[in-house]
Structure 1
């Protein structure tokens, strides 16, 4: 089989827009290990670093860490990181990518279900920040099929994210949400509420708040 042209996405035409910006996603993309889902869900490296530097404390828990892009950003910003990913192949990719960026010794990458009691009970009590970027849907652009996405729509293994955070010892919560997210649930929350956007297009919301305020966000 002949090799694909360099500019043609090997994961299929639907991923081509993300392939075209691959060096914005990972500056070291040619040496990184990335799958189709990772390509689609990664935060561009510059944005990842900008969000990561906002974390307080010294230890961050990265929930659903995927191929490791945000964990790496947190580590590059000086954090110790516990990264939880349920997919074994993505765990291997994340470990490779952490070594590639020279931060493997700062990231404890675990292959586990973060909602399981065993995983939750194994977490240390000195986590300062919980970061999550939950799945927005079941594939590229799936979130756009709904006019509005609410917090209760973004569950992990059937668990409301507020209930999950209630089980995790931490000080603050940071997260990325789709552009059609109903931010009214956080109208009374004190903290950072930012919009990441291009000139004409809202990319996502970024919110940083205390654990208590996140847990008590209106149902």
Structure 2
């Protein structure tokens, strides 16, 4: 782990929940970072394509996957998700984009426009080029109306389920499940 990895990695309990809800198949982890979610998806016997633009993060994720014994289930790619999205195929796209560092907590109503490297609408649209089955991990203070709007802007509109994620009784984030991942309806 590097310094940024310590505050940006998804807490393990939440990453396990994401993997349990994914239902199987090939998961595209669009912003894999140091591999917290990637590892949990791989532990559930999924094939994972882990993408990050930072070669150092990919190196850390690969090392972490080896420690967990799941590196053989993962294809690591150094690259820009937006440039790769149109050529990717998978059953689920997992979006846990950078939230802008720990300062996100000071924003009362976190807008999807604040996500990095592009706004949440652009992220979601790029993921839809892969699959309508999208899991999106977002800050606990995200504007839920905007998250729901993502499903309405799809054609046809996607099912959506929003889940609050707690660790030791503290709200840590919000997960939005779209398409077949909502309400556990994914058939692979």
**TM-score category (smaller protein):** 0.7 to 0.9
Higher relative contact order (CA 8 A, sep 6+): 2
User: Post-superposition shift, 1:70?
Assistant: 0.6
Report if aligned partners of 2:30, 2:94 keep a CA contact under 8 Å in 1.
yes
Decide which of 85, 88, 104 is 1:123's aligned counterpart. 88
Separation of aligned partners in 2, 1:67 and 1:148: 27
Corresponding residue for 1:195? 164
Structure 1: any 5+ residue segments left out of the alignment?
1-33, 214-219
Q: TM-score with structure 1 length normalisation?
A: 0.71
Report if aligned partners of 1:152, 1:161 keep a CA contact under 8 Å in 2.
no
User: Post-superposition shift, 1:92?
Assistant: 0.8
User: Post-superposition shift, 1:135?
Assistant: 1.2
Q: TM-score with structure 2 length normalisation?
A: 0.82
Structure 2: any 5+ residue segments left out of the alignment?
152-158, 183-188
- Give the RMSD, CA atoms, in angstroms: 2.2
Q: Aligned pair 1:210/2:150, yes or no?
A: no
Separation of aligned partners in 2, 1:200 and 1:99: 31
Q: How many residue pairs were aligned?
A: 172
Q: Between Structure 1 and Structure 2, which shows a larger proportion of helix residues?
A: 2
User: Post-superposition shift, 1:156?
Assistant: 2.4
Corresponding residue for 1:145? 106
Separation of aligned partners in 1, 2:44 and 2:24: 11
Report if aligned partners of 1:115, 1:156 keep a CA contact under 8 Å in 2.
no
Q: Deviations over 1:147-188 (max 9, x none)?
A: 21122322425672133224x221300011111111012447
